[in-house]
Amino acid sequence: MYVHLKKYSSQANKCFQGIKLKGNVLDNEYYLKLSTSYQRAEILIIDDLFKDKVKKNRLVGELTEADMKHIYPIINYRYFNKLPIYNT
């Protein structure tokens, strides 16, 4: 899963960064910083979410708790705060 974070700053119009969230789970401080930035981003674009589990819009592999524990808090936060999420 790749998560693209779109931010606006005074120095640049748009900044995209593609980061593998699961890859940083062992560094707790950095992981929390990433999760928070994804939760609070103005726009969040999620690319290839569970791409190894879904083929042609059909579930071909089981979604595990480990799969969900990284993305669910971000999606849940954004849903309750009415922040946009785009999934490609």
Domain extents for the chain?
2-87
Q: What digits encode the pLDDT tens for the residues 44-54?
A: 888 777 777 88
pLDDT on residue 15: 35
Q: What integer pLDDT is reported at residue 20 of this predicted model?
A: 67
Range 82-86 contact pairs with CB under 8 angstroms and sequence separation of 24 or more? 83/39, 83/40, 83/41, 83/42, 83/43, 83/44, 84/43, 84/44, 85/44, 85/45, 85/46, 86/43, 86/44, 86/45, 86/46
pLDDT at 9: 42
* Regions in the chain scoring below 70 on pLDDT: 1-20
Per residue in 29-39, pLDDT (tens digit) is: 988 888 898 89
- What's residue 80's pLDDT? 96
pTM: 0.68
